[in-house]
Structure formats: structure tokens, C-alpha cells
Chains A and B, each alone.
Chain A
Amino acid sequence: MLAIAPGAGRGEASERLLPSASLAAPTAIEPASLIGRSADELVRNLGRPKQEMPIASGMTWRYQIAECSASFLLLPELATGLLKVFSYEIAPRASDEAAACLGRIASDGRARGT
């Protein structure tokens, strides 16, 4: 599923969408808020992906944990030429669980220190 949230904003490069406390409980992350984020920002928020695959003129980043998985398609943004999040696909598909899934992925990423 290609899901892009209307009105999703782009924060500064250093903006974190998650609480900084590494021991905090997983906080849900709205997937649409990641649209337009750069690769670096995605790493800062979700950690390094488990899998990187080139696709078209960009990359697909795949995150996977026991409970769910998420894929992000990063394509070059015309204004900057930098790879940025173009779309995402999250399993399970329910939108209310998607945010929780991303929260858990982020938590896992922090735990792994990536």
C-alpha cells in the first residue's frame, strides 16, 4: 500500500520525532510524518534499515521486527537531488497499528544502537 499523509510536514534535519530517552516506552510514529524526510532523518528516527535495495532512481529501505515490517521508498527530490522518503508500506496494514509498528521499530533501533 502506498500511503502518503495529507499535510505531512517536514521538520529540520535535526528534528527527532521520538522522545530522546532511550528507555522510554515505544511511542507511536505517524507514518505520514516521515514523507519527505531525508535518509539521514530516517536513520535518526528509525535506525538503520535491515535491507537496502536500489529501485528506479532511488532506494528501498526495509525495516523488520518480529511484530511487523515497514518499507520506505526513497527517491531523489527534485529541489535538492537528495534521496527522500517518497512512500512507505507497513505491515500490518491497519493504520492505527502502523504508527505503533513504527514506534516499535524505532525502539528496536535505539536498542540496537543504530
Chain B
Amino acid sequence: MAARVAPDDGALSRPLSSPGTAQAARRGGPLRLTILLLIFIAVPVILYGWFRTADADKRAIVLGTAQQQATLIATSLRPLLDRDDSSAVERIDAAVRGLAVEGRTLRVIRARPATGHDAEFLVASQPTATAAEFAAIRGKLREAERAGLDRQNCTGRSAIEARVGGASGDAEILAAAALVATPGSCWTILIGWSSAPFLASSLGRPYWRTREVGVAGAIYLAFIAIVLASLRGRTRKQNWAIPVYPTIPAPILGRVALPAAQALEHLPPPIELDLGAPFAELLDLRKHVADLVFQYHEDVTARGLSFSYEAIQPAAIRGTRSLVDGAVINLLDTVLAASRPGDVVRVVVRTEDGMPRLIVEDGGHAGAFDAEAAPDRGDIRHATWVAHRNVEAMGGRLDIKKQANGVSRFVASFPRPG
């Protein structure tokens, strides 16, 4: 039997799947899914660690910069602080006003721990501190003390990150404090930042609470959903693709000629074709059969056979090109293999009771019907079986009948396309 490959369908040229391949494919699905899930879990875990490290580095840089700025301002104010007279207060206030920057608060606080007088005064403030902001200032100083600022001994400096609410409702998320010791007094320079770039940053809160990370997380989840949906769709397509036997390739039918029992063993399990799937399309059975009959013409003539082809009206069916062509090719192969020179192979496409039908008859000499049951004709049995499965996959049925005149008749009936 000659090798037949259906026209313009690359899938038909693939070798027949072995059971091992099919089973491996079925086993491979969950394995791939598991690997994908592991990747989907591992990626954010790894990224979390990387981003956390990067965020910590960024915070260290920001805090260090803030601390440097506080120290710089303290150094610039030092000559005024050293004077320690009434007029210095005005000059300190003027200097602090000159250092005003939008989004930054600057407070100068004086304590005199050496005197035993524990009152601390807000000597200068930019902007002017409202009564409600004093609690926030005290809170930041406490945080700074916890971060290493030793105000008792007037030593050290520190930078802190904390979202401390201000009177205006804005939050100062970064603060730095520097101490300046003068004879009898300890001055604290406290700077806070509330500008938008800091507010949007991860300072004072876990970095994964930032809007950027939230958006990235949402995109990642959407990506996972899309990949899983795609994988699911591919699995369904693979179910379609498992019967890669729409036609019987040459090695099996013509050259290898597996024994019938072995050939059947190698067939993949039944398929379940979802005719509602988007890739099931309306096809003209008449056109497909006519094209294939035309392609068989040379081969048929070389064998001394001839075709009788009857198709008057279009016959619409729903299915796929590969399944239709596979069914037709295997029926033709079966009938031609069972014919002798001089036989006329009859092919008819018509619609009976609204059902499109393909009828293929042999010449009646050798009898495809008998050959299909013969133990030494595994090739014909195989081809018939494939045609049978393809027709069934499209919701139809294949009947084989030996007529009284010895003609074997194959009738493939397809459901109305609906």
C-alpha cells in the first residue's frame, strides 16, 4: 500500500504515536505543570530576597545621606550655637529660615542637662511648629535615641525612618538628628523629610507595600493566570493531537507492516473530540474527497484500477481537515489495497436524510471486507480502524458491509453540521 499524506496538513506526515509516547505525553502534563508551579513560586521568593537586599541598601544610602545633611546643618549652625546669648536665638532662627526647603522640616532644640533643669526648648523651627506637632517631634527624638542618639551625654548622631504624622496630615517619613555640645548646653538638630519622593518610597514601611511592588505583583499574578490558561488550552489541543494518525504513514502500512494485533496495541487510546472547540470548522466533504481522488488518480491508474466518483451536491460537515482527510485517505488505501487490476473503485458523496455520507466500494474481487478481518492484513485492519476513529471523532460512524455481489462497502456517516 502506498504511503499517503493528506494535502497541506503538516500533522499528517508525523509518525504514528507509540503508546509510550502517548503515555509520556499524558504523564508529562502534570510534570510540566508542577515544574511551572515551582518556577512561579520560586521566582517571587528569589526576587523578594533580592529586592529586600536592594531595598535595605537603598535605605542605608538614604539614611546615610540624611545623617550627613543633619551633620552639615549642625556644623553650619555651630558658631551661632556657641555664642549662647539672647541675640543668638534670633540669629539661629534667621539661619534656620534661610535653610528652609520645601518638604523638609528643621528644628533646633536646646537642653541644659548640666544645670539639672530638664526643660527642653524649641529654639527655632522651620516651618513653625504647631502645638500638635510637638508630640511628633518628641516621638522622633525617642526613635533617634533608640537608634543611637545619646542626648544625655550629648553625643552621637542618628537617622531614622518612621512615618510620623504632622499637624497638616502629611507624614514625615525620614528624620535625622545631630547633636552639638556647647558649654552648658546640648543642642539637637532634627531634620525631617516629607517630600513626595520619600512618601512614595518604601521608607518607614515594608518595601512590598509600595505601589510599584503592588502593581508588579498584580502583573505577575496575571502572567501566571495567562500561562496556566494557555497551558490548559494547549493540553486540550494536545488531546486533539494525540491521535496523530489521521492517515497511516508508509512505514506502518506499506513497509513495516506490523502484525495486526501489534498494530492495534500501538494505537493510542480513544480521543474525545469537542466539536464545540473553536478549531472544529465547517468543511465541504465533497471538495475534500474530490481533491484526494484527484491526487490518487495517477497511483490508481498505475495499478490498473479506475475511480468512479459521484458527488452532486456540497456536503457540509463539522470537523478538522486532518481528521477528514485521514478518514478518506485510509478508506481509499484500504479499498485500493484490496482491489485487483481492472477493478473500479466507487466513491460517492451525498446527503441522505440530512446526513452527509461518504461511500467507498471496492471492485468486489478480493474484498476489503474479508481482508479487514484477515489476520495477515494488519495494515488494512489498521487503516480501517484509523478511518473509523477519525469519523467517530467527528461525531459520525463508519459501517462496513459486504454486499451480495462481493463488493465491500464502507459508509461514513457524519452528523448534520448544525
Residues of chain A at the chain B interface (Cβ within 8 Å)? 1-2, 4-8, 10, 35-36, 55-57, 71, 73, 75-81, 84, 86-87, 89
Is B298 an interface position by the 8 A CB rule? no
Interface contact B121-A7, CB-CB below 8 Å: no
Interface contact B122-A8, CB-CB below 8 Å: no
Interface contact A6-B93, CB-CB below 8 Å: no
Interface contact B137-A4, CB-CB below 8 Å: no
Give the CA-CA distance A84 to B117 in the complex, in Å: 13
Interface contact B121-A77, CB-CB below 8 Å: yes
Interface contact B122-A78, CB-CB below 8 Å: yes
Residues of B within 8 A of A78 (CB): 109, 119-122, 134, 137-138
Interface contact A77-B120, CB-CB below 8 Å: yes
Knowing A1-B85, A56-B90, A56-B93, the reply to whether A81 touches B134 (Cβ < 8 A) is: yes
26 contacts between A and B (CB under 8 A): A2-B84, A2-B88, A4-B117, A5-B115, A7-B117, A8-B115, A8-B117, A56-B89, A56-B92, A56-B93, A56-B123, A57-B124, A57-B128, A57-B129, A75-B121, A75-B122, A76-B129, A77-B119, A77-B121, A77-B122, A78-B119, A78-B138, A79-B134, A81-B129, A81-B131, A87-B86
Question: Which residue of the partner chain, among A7, A77, A79, contacts B115 with CB atoms under 8 Å?
Answer: A7
Residues of A within 8 A of B93 (CB): 55-57
Is B112 an interface position by the 8 A CB rule? yes
The smallest beta-carbon distance between B90 and chain A, in angstroms, is 6
Instruction: Return the chain B residue nearest A73 by Cβ.
Output: B86
Is B413 an interface position by the 8 A CB rule? no
The smallest beta-carbon distance between B106 and chain A, in angstroms, is 12
Interface centre among A57, A73, A79 (most CB of B within 10 A): A57
Residues of B within 8 A of A4 (CB): 112, 115, 117
Interface contact A7-B116, CB-CB below 8 Å: yes
Is B125 an interface position by the 8 A CB rule? yes
Instruction: Return the chain A residue nearest B119 by Cβ.
Output: A36
**7 extra interface residue pairs, beta carbon distance < 8 Å, beyond A57-B125, A73-B86, A86-B123:** A6-B115, A8-B117, A36-B119, A75-B121, A76-B129, A78-B137, A81-B129
Question: Which residue of the partner chain, among B89, B112, B115, B122, contacts A76 with CB atoms under 8 Å?
Answer: B122
Question: Which residue of the partner chain, among A10, A77, A80, A89, contacts B86 with CB atoms under 8 Å?
Answer: A89
Give the CA-CA distance A30 to B119 in the complex, in Å: 19
Interface centre among A36, A77, A81, A89 (most CB of B within 10 A): A81
The smallest beta-carbon distance between B138 and chain A, in angstroms, is 6
Give the CA-CA distance A1 to B93 in the complex, in Å: 18
Interface centre among A78, A79, A87 (most CB of B within 10 A): A78
Q: Contact string, B93-126, partner A, CB cutoff 8 A, digits 1/0?
A: 1000000000000000100101111011111110
Interface contact B117-A57, CB-CB below 8 Å: no
Residues of A within 8 A of B92 (CB): 56
Residues of A within 8 A of B121 (CB): 75-78, 84, 86
Residues of B within 8 A of A1 (CB): 85-86
Give the CA-CA distance A67 to B2 in the complex, in Å: 134
Give the CA-CA distance A76 to B86 in the complex, in Å: 15
The smallest beta-carbon distance between A37 and chain B, in angstroms, is 10
Give the CA-CA distance A36 to B119 in the complex, in Å: 7
Instruction: Return the chain A residue nearest B93 by Cβ.
Output: A56
Knowing A4-B112, A8-B115, A8-B117, the reply to whether A57 touches B122 (Cβ < 8 A) is: yes
The smallest beta-carbon distance between B236 and chain A, in angstroms, is 71
Q: Contact string, B389-407, partner A, CB cutoff 8 A, digits 1/0?
A: 0000000000000000000
Residues of B within 8 A of A57 (CB): 93, 122-125, 128-129
Give the CA-CA distance A33 to B74 in the complex, in Å: 31
Give the CA-CA distance A1 to B90 in the complex, in Å: 14
Give the CA-CA distance A84 to B89 in the complex, in Å: 15
Question: Which residue of the partner chain, among A35, A55, A56, A73, contacts B117 with CB atoms under 8 Å?
Answer: A35
Residues of B within 8 A of A7 (CB): 115-117
Give the CA-CA distance A73 to B84 in the complex, in Å: 13
Residues of B within 8 A of A80 (CB): 134
